[in-house]
Structure 1
Amino acid sequence: MDKSITDSAPARAAYLGGLGIAIGGAVLFSTKAVVAKLLYRYQIDAVTLIAFRMIFSLPVFAAVALWKMRTEAPLSNADRWRIVGLGLVGYYLSSFLDFLGLQYISVGLERLILFLTPTFVLLISSTLLKHHISRKQWLALLTSYCGIVFVFLHDLNSGSRNVMLGATLVTGSAAAYAVYLLLSGEMVKRLGALRLVSYAMCVSSAACIGQFFLLRPASGLVQPLPVYGLSLVNGILCTVMPVFMTMAAVERIGPGTASQAGMIGPVSTLFLGALLLGEPVTSWQLGGTVLVLAGIYLLSKK
């Protein structure tokens, strides 16, 4: 047997395994929008929802953070403050605006708007850092935003209340996460993704849980049993697992391929919304999804 074939078989298996992990992580992360919609049926608000999400995910991230504190060199004071800022912008503010917006728009539109994060990174880089945007990148941006307009107009015409408010909140969420990505780039190289994410998530959890006790009575922690079950799914399956799966996929197949695999997210959310929430899948939504995915694909190729 040809040696090159035998050598390539394990590499191909590792690549396909990494691709599968990346796709699984993207689907799980996208599912949080569907879980949030199910939680809203129990008359809880965004403050309570995000607090429960962090209560269930915090023990895992805290355990990883403690392990890293024991095995890695101590952080400088400057890095500590940077992590506090990143945690507040990237995971607290971004998540809070996202869950607020989900009260008013469909999960399909929410996921498409969040999927524009790479375009926000590009626009912020161009505006503040004076990076040049090529014609191909402008084409990618135009294609993606045309897709968002398609789905937005569909939701607007469907009679949904406060669609504009919800879309604005989720757009703010995507912009906040884009700022987090830009600011964290240099720190990821120095500290490693696992350490940075675990520390930032601990900061975010403290902010989300603290916000709950500032704005809501402690009796708000007493909820129907399904709220605890769905919050456990939200915290572990839709938060902790996607974070670790994405990092594992990046190690196996690289960030470029992993990010392209994440393109399954908007599609999975659209059909999960139809299956679990009864949200209709229309030709406008499918057309908008195709345009957004095409634009992000062009951007990721660049």
Structure 2
Amino acid sequence: MNVRAYSETTKPTSSGWTGFLHLLIVYIVWGSTYLAIRVAVGQEGGFPPFTMGALRLLPAGCLLLLGSFLFRQALKLSWQELKILAVSGVFLWLGGNGLVMWAEQYADSGYAALLVGTTPMWVALAEAVLDRKAPAKLLVLSLLSGFAGIVVLSLPVLRHASQANILSITALLLAPLSWGMGSLLQRRNPVSLSPVVSSGYQQIFGGLGFAMLALLLGEPMPNPSAEAWWAFVYLVVFGSLLAFTSYIMALRLLPTGIVMTYAYVNPVVAVFLGWLILHEPISLWTIGGTTLVLLGVAGTFRNQNVKVKVNPVTKATATVNK
């Protein structure tokens, strides 16, 4: 699908409708995983976070590769592809998802989702640094808005400052940076494997990283409650197997700008579910910070669209056109 040929007036093809279905899955499931993580790693009857990461990703990755093998998809990796998937898998899962799981032992799920929602801003900033280009004024204003939103969201948490709160905020600031770097690495170095196979390898590499970190930190054997088990199963089946693969499929079938709208929807879904199920508070600080963050993300996407129009032959376009 060519990005330049896509418009709002264009009637979606069958592959376009399939892409929107995958995007809907990403909207709902990834938005709800913050709630599931909060339940799964809760301090009363939850899993140790990095142990849970290993238990979640290793079986999911193996199942994806087994299914790919049964459907006769290519599994062989070149040395270059192995390095790309290993490094991106560690950035995406161990850095991005792992820091979120650790932080949600202490932080509300909605707050975690809002800070992770800043990922597009970190990606845009990293691209400006890598390309050695001064960021456009729109991007600068967007980053300022987004980071102001982070401050507004974090002030109520810091008012009850403890070492755990400060460390959880730090982890939630580093998590979207790590996820963004993993996404950027994969986008700039596309592999020839199918999305399902790529997802399987990345989850295995991420799971191995979790297992090593759990051993190094001496995490105790898990003794989870029934609620934590249900949340864990949900994360494996829906968060790892279904949504991550749907995300990659959506990137293949839809323009990148449309797929990236999940960054607006996931935090809203997470905040709503956290309020509805876990009774997490929604205050004026939450509303104001959310507005500033979403404005920052919107401006970042707008700046990216302007770049594509000015120079349509980009790596992002080439990836989508495959």
Coarse TM-score class (shorter-chain normalised) = 0.7 to 0.9
Query: What do residues 45-79 of structure 1 show as CA deviations (whole Å, max 9, x unaligned)?
Result: 212332332255234333255458x5338332232
Residues 209-258 of structure 1: CA distance to partner in whole angstroms, max 9, x if unpaired? 454456558x8255444433221101112222111222333344322111
Q: Note if 1:264 corresponds to 2:265.
A: yes
What's the counterpart of residue 196 of structure 1? 198
Report what 2:298 is aligned to: 297
**Shift in alpha-carbon separation, 1:226–1:215, aligned structure 2, 3 A:** same
Give the distance between the partners of 1:252 and 1:211, measured in 2 at CA. Answer: 35
Aligned-pair CA distance for 1:131: 2.7
Q: 1:57 aligns with which of 53, 57, 60?
A: 60
**1:144 corresponds to:** 146
1:90 to 66, 72, 92: 92
Q: Does 1:30 align with 2:31?
A: yes
Distance 1:295 1:97 in 2: 22
Aligned to 1:135: 137
Cα distance change, pair 228–210 in 1 and its aligned pair in 2 (3 A): farther
Rounded Cα–Cα distance in structure 2 between residues aligned with 1:27 and 1:285: 21
Whether the 8 Å contact between 1:22 and 1:262 is mirrored in structure 2 is no
Aligned twin of 1:126 = 128
Q: TM-score, normalised by structure 2?
A: 0.79
Higher helix share: 1
Match of 1:153 in 2: 155
1:46 and 2:49 matched: yes
CA gap 1:236/1:47 in 2 versus in 1, 3 angstroms: same
Return the letter of the residue paired with 1:277. Answer: L
Structure 2 unaligned segments of length 5 or more: list them.
Answer: 1-8, 304-322
What is the alpha-carbon distance in structure 2 between the residues aligned to residue 73 and residue 245 of structure 1? 19
* TM-score, normalised via structure 1 length: 0.84
What is the Cα deviation at residue 192 of structure 1? Answer: 4.9
Partner of 1:114: 116
In structure 2, how many angstroms separate the alpha carbons of the residues matched to 1:9 and 1:170?
Answer: 39
- Rounded Cα–Cα distance in structure 2 between residues aligned with 1:107 and 1:160: 18
User: Secondary structure at the residue paired with 2:45?
Assistant: coil
**Distance in structure 2 (CA, Å) of the matches to 1:112 and 1:122:** 17
Distance, in Å, in 2 between the alignment partners of 1:9 and 1:132 is: 35
What is the alpha-carbon distance in structure 2 between the residues aligned to residue 32 and residue 160 of structure 1? 26
Question: Per the alignment, in what secondary structure is the counterpart of residue 166 of structure 1?
Answer: helix
Q: Secondary structure at the match of 2:293?
A: helix
Q: What residue number does 2:320 align with?
A: none
Please report how far the alpha carbon of residue 117 of structure 1 lies from its aligned counterpart in structure 2 after TM superposition.
Answer: 1.3
Report the residue type matching 2:157 in the other structure. Answer: D
| Counterpart residue number, 1:104 | 106
For 1:220 and 1:66, the matched residues in 2 are separated by 33
Paired positions, count: 293
Whole-Å separation in 2 of the counterparts to 1:15 and 1:82: 28
- Listed one character per residue, the Cα deviations across residues 83-118 of structure 1 (whole Å, up to 9, x for unaligned) are 222222221232221111112222222111111111
Cα RMSD (Å): 2.9
Structure 2 partner of 1:279: 280
Conservation of the 8 A alpha-carbon contact between 1:118 and 1:296: yes
Range moving further from structure 2, 196-205 or 276-285: 196-205
Amino acid across the alignment from 1:85: V
Distance 2:163 2:276 in 1: 22
Structure 1 185/16 Cα, relative in aligned 2: closer, same or farther at 3 Å?
closer
Paired position in structure 2 for 1:244: 245
The 8 Å contact of residues 27 and 269 in structure 1, kept in 2 or not, is answered as: no
Residue identity in the other structure for 2:233 = L
1:131 partner SS: coil
What do residues 129-175 of structure 1 show as CA deviations (whole Å, max 9, x unaligned)?
31331001111111111111111112223567632210101211111
- For residue 137 of structure 1, what is the amino acid of its counterpart? L
8 Å CA contact 1:19–1:261 kept in 2: the answer is no
